[in-house]
A and B are shown apart, each in its own frame.
Chain A
Amino acid sequence: MTGLSGSGKSTLMNILGCLDRPTSGRYVLADRDTSRMSAGELAIVRNEQIGFVFQSFELLPRQSALKNVELPLIYAHGGWGSRRRRARRALERVGLGDRMSHRPNQLSGGQKQRVAIARAIVNGPAILLADEPTGNLDSTTTEEIMELLEQLHDEGQTILIVTHERDVASHCRRVIWLTDGLVSSDLPSEEDPAVREHRLRHLAEIEEAARAAGDSTHLITAGDRPC
């Protein structure tokens, strides 16, 4: 999901994530109308159906990676006995099996976001909502995180990414453009003109880089930032 600032990305994301309720219309998630749910009911839906990944990670600073990942399970129905095991498995899935007892300040940005992703998937959500998941990361780490998300997607996880980076958007199967609060385009990424253009340029860059690598050490800066 992409669009310019103020186009309504965050609002739609909040509604989809059951953090907010629509002022009009209905949002049906897994056959349940969430529009009239109380704050408590919405919290349970978030716990069971939604996993959040935020731009600024939002990890509890004083707690280990494992404790951070356990957080949603504390508020979950059942599964108290298997809490630690499930958190561990989630951390292994994101490739942090060797960083479980590290605190956020002992982890790099990419590792922090991996912990956040592990926390988002630990309760097996229907949708993983990622709000600018790579906004605070450099390009190399961005690639790593996108690979991880792609890998989760291949394993069957539905992922919704809110981004204004075409580079990130080009990883997705479907691209939704929002303009002034309305969906202006909703196409598979192969057909989305902006993504297409980006991919072509990206390919060209890679070719040029390959040529440049022949005679000199030329650094490639990946990704453009239209906004």
Chain B
Amino acid sequence: MLRLLVHLQAIVLALSQIWANKTRSFLTTLGIIIGVASVTTVIAALTGLKTSVLNEFETFGASKMFIFPDRPDDAPRNMYPWREIRLKIPELQALNENCPSIRQLTPITNEGANLQFRDRIREGVNITGIWPAWHEIENRSVIMGRQFTLSDEEGAHQVCLVNDEAIKELGLDADPSGQHILLNGRRFLIVGVVETLQASIFGPQTTSSEVFIPFSTMVKLKDPQFFFFVIAQVVSPEAAEEAKAEATFVLRKSRGLDATEPNTFEIAAIDQFIDQFKAMAAGITVIAGGIVAISLLVGGIGIMNIMLVSVSERTREIGLRKSVGATPIVILMQFLLEAITLCFMGGLVGLACGEAFAFAMTLPEDSPLEEASIPIWAVVLSFAFSAGVGVIFGMFPAVKAARLDPIEAMRHE
């Protein structure tokens, strides 16, 4: 009880000392303030970035999976010729039928082509061959007209879908269904309009003309060994691992690979990218943490310096306090608490600054850091860190004060 009261007194004393030297205390804690403010700001920005990127992934499809042919590492080229390892339409049908965790899938392939409508020509427009399942998987529905039908696919009809940008660039009607365009000189019937892709962190930053044609039509246009990959939608994000296992099993079986042979394909789920991104964000956090540790170290040295000055200019006072009965431990606590209080208050001000910066980040419209905020663990950590700096760097001056000989101290000028 006595100890507690003495230490309570020491806190009051520390606070009054700090208050008596306001300017000096502020300048001293500036190092800590800047350190804590910068770390919390960086962490807030990272948190915001992470949230928006993960949201992006979410809309992009957390339940998406990519399947593409892949020659095993180190395998001789002739052992796995391209025509053997490339994906084949029957394999896709097998995947569709035998993988309960895969809701739907579409092959996808791109091609640059010249587009012509009446006298307008656009070169190098991106043509994409798709199955109708693509609309749901990519969350880009047909807003006018119709999707491709089964007969379009089976008959490899020369039909196409366009986006708003293509309508604008080619000067098509607002509802272009029924109009014809030339695709590398072939006449295609427009059957509908696809939602324009929103600019995002991933993919194109500006929208451009896009044309979609049935996959089978694309097969006819291209050379028979062309590359394509598959986007599959998993029934739920949690089922990603299962879907991967199922797809691996089905593909290995259809390719007749025995147990010793490696996969001749690769299956990548979107959560792998998420994991990669999280690892990257964690890396940045660690680096920021390192920088902050250095700035707190510098701040701590500043605190130590000012505490040494404080001890030396209050030597007589320390001597007096000792002569009226202050034990070394009480003196130690008094100075230690002063250092800790300084650091703690620096942490508090720094946190307030960081909080202000985090708020400022959320203000601009369409800010990618809309969700920027300081997580609780960062708050706790920065406080713990500043208090720790106070203890470590306050200890030396405090011990020095505690060890002062009262007689010597009273003679000090």
Contacts and interface: CB of A to CB of B under 8 A. Distances in A.
Contacts of A43: 322, 325-328
A62 B20 contact: yes
10 contacts: A19-B406, A39-B327, A54-B410, A71-B324, A74-B6, A75-B325, A75-B327, A78-B2, A80-B5, A119-B324
B321 interface: yes
Interface of A: 14, 17, 19-20, 39-40, 43-44, 46-48, 52, 54, 58, 60, 62, 71-72, 74-78, 80, 119, 123
B323 A44 contact: no
Indicate the member of A39, A54, A78, A123 with the most B CB atoms within 10 Å: A39
A60 B16 CA distance: 13
A71 to B, nearest CB: 5
B317 A60 contact: yes
A119 B407 CA distance: 18
A44 B325 CA distance: 5
Majority SS at the chain B contact face: helix
B301 to A, nearest CB: 28
A20 B327 contact: no
B272 interface: no
A14 B325 CA distance: 14
A74 B330 CA distance: 10
B179 interface: no
A80 B186 CA distance: 100
Given A75-B324, A75-B325, 15 more contacts: A19-B323, A40-B328, A43-B322, A46-B322, A58-B410, A71-B320, A71-B321, A72-B325, A74-B6, A74-B9, A75-B6, A75-B321, A75-B327, A75-B330, A76-B325
A77 B323 CA distance: 16
Contacts of A48: 325
B400 to A, nearest CB: 14
Nearest to B406: A19
A76 B326 CA distance: 9
B333 to A, nearest CB: 12
A83 to B, nearest CB: 10
B13 to A, nearest CB: 9
B320 A75 contact: no
A58 B324 CA distance: 11
Interface string B305-345: 00000000000110011111111111000000000000000
Contacts of B9: 74
Q: Would you list the 9 A-B pairs with minimal beta carbon distance, nearest first?
A: A47-B325, A72-B324, A75-B325, A40-B327, A43-B327, A58-B320, A75-B326, A46-B325, A19-B406
Interface residues of B, number: 21
A54 B320 CA distance: 10
A14 B9 CA distance: 28
A145 to B, nearest CB: 19
A60 B317 CA distance: 7
Contacts of A80: 2, 5
Interface in B1-37: 2, 5-6, 9, 20
Contacts of A75: 6, 321, 324-327, 330
Contacts of B316: 58
Contact of B323 (A17, A39, A60, A76): A17
A7 B325 CA distance: 27
Given A19-B406, A75-B330, A52 B323 contact: yes
A95 B321 CA distance: 24
Contacts of B328: 39-40, 43
Nearest to A49: B325
Indicate the member of A17, A74, A78 with the most B CB atoms within 10 Å: A74
B409 to A, nearest CB: 10
A148 to B, nearest CB: 19
A40 B322 CA distance: 9
B326 to A, nearest CB: 5
B138 to A, nearest CB: 73
A107 B359 CA distance: 53
A60 B320 contact: yes
Contacts of A46: 322-325
Contacts of A78: 2
A17 B324 CA distance: 10
Contacts of A77: 2
